[in-house]
Amino acid sequence: MESWVQDIEFERHGRLRRLVRTVISNPIANYLPAVMLKGLLRFGKSDLAMSNWKDPGGWRSMVISYDGNPTQIADRILVKSGAMSTALRNRRRLGARLLARLIDESPSEPAHVLCLGAGPGRIIMDAMNQADRDSFATLVDLSSDAFEYGRSNARNEGLIDRVHFIQGDVRDVKQMLDRPPDIVKMLGICEYLTDEQIVDIVRSAAEVMPAGSSIVFNSLSLAHGTNRFFRRVFGLHMNHRTPEHLECLFGSAGFADFVSHEEPLGVYHVIVGRRKPAPESNDEKGSS
Ligand SMILES: C[S@@+](CC[C@H](N)C(=O)[O-])C[C@H]1O[C@@H](n2cnc3c(N)ncnc32)[C@H](O)[C@@H]1O
């Protein structure tokens, strides 16, 4: 799987940029009074701040970072040079590449990709565009807020007939599908959930997944260096976990054979796991 990701054009921060981040920008962001930073962001009409204040960690702020080209000066500083936004764009590239390869490897064509906490579906649409083989996607989100934007992207990219948006709680996913998924995508959601919520969701997904099918998710580390800023200024309380911690949670819900890929800033790992075969029931054992 390593060769799948070797040629991705990641964004990297050189030594000087890392030094400036550590010695100047992160301490300012983390320790300047929150009221002052909020005032500056409000004065600078920061879209990134406004969308986080409205919906902390929601899909809109993600799209601003993914696009990487905001108009306001405050956003340009945060999005272009902030470690978190850069790492998000790297995660987008890494996630899309892995999903495209899984689509190409899938035993079914078209492959069915189920996206949990999908937002507007940016990463899966990148993957569908990159894959050589045919696929379609079911995108589930609690909020239908992102769907109009997602549909408009899908229309522009010729994917509108291959994406199906469903508003609902991903724990009810069993009732939403008429065909089992070949791949399940859970990028950009675990960091907003507790361990218990993750296990609940992953168990529900496992119930509809055939043995050997793939699940793609991500960890989040503190390497971005601005957790204090996100908590105080954006009201964003994210759960940082190692890949091993998440693999343990996903393992307890029926997955194994994890392979983990780190993006160059060390903020995110994108991890692929496989659905374990269901254990034989005692009845089946007895009758064989
Ligand atoms: C940060 S956004 C990420 C969107 C997208 N996955 C991405 O990476 O661009 C997280 C999304 O998860 C959704 N979400 C959180 N808990 C959920 C649940 N239990 N069921 C469905 N959606 C959920 C939120 O509504 C939100 O749109």
pLDDT of residue 250: 98
Q: What Cα–Cα distance (Å) separates residue 100 from each residue in 5, 124, 241, 277?
A: 11, 8, 25, 24
> Which residue has a Cα nearest atom 15 of ligand 1?
117
Ligand 1 atom with least separation from CA of 66? 9
**pLDDT tens track of the chain, all 288 residues?**
778 888 999 999 999 999 999 999 999 999 999 999 999 999 999 999 999 999 998 999 999 999 999 999 999 999 988 999 999 999 999 999 999 999 999 999 999 999 999 999 999 999 999 999 999 999 999 989 999 999 999 999 999 999 999 999 998 998 899 899 999 999 999 999 999 999 999 999 999 999 999 999 999 999 999 999 999 999 999 999 999 999 999 999 999 999 999 999 999 999 999 999 977 765 544 443
- Report the pLDDT value the prediction gives residue 3, as an integer from 0 to 100: 83
- pLDDT value of position 67: 93
pLDDT tens string 109-166? 999 999 999 999 999 999 999 999 999 999 999 989 999 999 999 999 999 999 999 9
pLDDT at 285: 46
- Ligand 1: which atom is nearest the Cα of residue 185? 6
Q: What is the pTM of this model?
A: 0.94
- State the pLDDT at residue 288: 38
Residue 117 near ligand 1, beta carbon < 6 Å? yes
| Span from the CA of 194 to the centroid of ligand 1 (angstroms) | 14
Give 16 Cα–ligand 1 centroid separation in angstroms.
Answer: 35
pLDDT value of position 52? 95
Rounded to whole angstroms, the Cα distance separating 211 from 152 reads 34
Q: Output the pLDDT for position 287.
A: 43
Distance CA 275, CA 133 (A): 22
Residue 118 CB less than 6 A away from ligand 1: yes
Task: State the pLDDT at residue 87.
Answer: 98
The pLDDT, as a whole number, for residue 116 is 97
Q: How far is the CA of 77 from the centre of ligand 1 (A)?
A: 26
d(CA 5, CA 263): 10
pLDDT at position 177 = 92
Residue nearest to atom 12 of ligand 1 (CA): 117
Residue 76 CA, ligand 1 centroid: distance in Å: 25
Structural domains of the chain, ranges and CATH numbers in brackets? 14-84 (no CATH), 86-227+239-276 (3.40.50.150)
* Residue of minimum CA distance from atom 19 in ligand 1: 169
Q: Whose CA is nearest to atom 20 of ligand 1?
A: 169
Would you state the pLDDT for residue 286?
Answer: 46
Q: How far is CA 251 from the centre of its chain?
A: 19
Q: What is the rounded CA–CA span in Å between residue 117 and residue 259?
A: 22
